[in-house]
Amino acid sequence: MIGCAEIRIEDLLTSRMETYRFLARLYRVEIDEDLYHELELMRFPINTGSKEVDEGHRLLCSYLSRPWSGVAIELAADYVRTFMGHGITMHEAAYPYESVHTSPRRLMMQEARDEVLEIYRRASLKRDADWKDGEDHIAIELEFMGVVAQRAVDALGRDDEGAAADWLLQSQIFLSNHLLNWVPMLVADMLRFAKTDFYMAIAKMTIGFLETDSEFLAEALCQEEAYTA
């Protein structure tokens, strides 16, 4: 049985769903004024158990102490510099596509993109008409994890622990086979190319959360297996 002695499992599953969606938004497009002000109002814990997440929170909170008028242009420029670069090779930015980091020639729209596209289709997910980039963009992979996390929450709300466990297993497989297979390289590039503490914070928060979620999924599924054995 999926369970936790101190924190309700429903709350844990909801929290991870919200975190995946939050991270996806930060990668999807540049930060606008509304989101910046939302971030200013958020409270980020200082001791999460993850060194990377804690460092990311520290950097982010420090950066958010600055007024929007003073960082608007800086953040827009850093988003472009970090994720798009300005050179002609695929070695001059933290390109946010799995294919670039897993294909021999660092090209977009390669095998990884085809693999995740098939996974989305099996989950009955359709492409957003407004999205023009590849389906293996980090924002889309994080959004997929958010969708699967939501389905686990919904299943548990129906008292269908078997379905919830199945969705968690799908999360674990996708996290292992895809996100954790390339995001560490993306994060290393982000820390190399980003000039603002904002995107350095996002890099640290991302890898720290993915590693923590991997541990959570392993424990939750182990408990479920023990209960059903």
Q: What is the mean pLDDT of residues 188-198?
A: 97
Evaluate whether residue 69 is within a structural domain.
yes
Instruction: Show the domain range for 163.
Output: 9-228
pLDDT tens across 64-120, in order? 999 999 999 999 999 999 999 865 455 689 999 999 999 998 888 899 999 999 999
Query: Which pLDDT does position 127 carry in this prediction?
Result: 82
Q: What is the mean pLDDT of residues 51-70?
A: 97
Evaluate whether residue 221 is within a structural domain.
yes
Query: Which pLDDT does position 196 carry in this prediction?
Result: 98
How far is the C-alpha of 157 from the C-alpha of 199, rounded, in Å?
Answer: 35
Q: Note whether 123 and 148 are within 8 A (CB).
A: yes
Q: What's the CATH code of the domain at 221?
A: 1.10.3480.10
Q: Note whether 24 and 146 are within 8 A (CB).
A: yes
Mean pLDDT of the chain: 92
Rounded to two decimals, the pTM is: 0.92
CA angle, corner 211, sides to 42 and 101, nearest 5? 105
> Is the pLDDT reported for residue 158 higher than 80?
yes
Evaluate whether residue 59 is within a structural domain.
yes
Evaluate whether residue 1 is within a structural domain.
no
Query: Which pLDDT does position 224 carry in this prediction?
Result: 64
47 Cβ neighbours under 8 A, 6+ residues apart:
54
Q: Note whether 141 and 116 are within 8 A (CB).
A: yes
User: Would the CA dihedral through 45, 97, 144, 139 be positive or negative?
Assistant: positive
Instruction: Return the structure tokens found at 166.
Output: 């199945």
- Report which DSSP code applies to 46: S
Overall domain count for the chain: 1
Evaluate whether residue 4 is within a structural domain.
no
First to last CA, the chain: 10
Evaluate whether residue 97 is within a structural domain.
yes
- Residue 137, classed as helix, strand or coil, is strand
Evaluate whether residue 2 is within a structural domain.
no
Query: Which pLDDT does position 91 carry in this prediction?
Result: 67
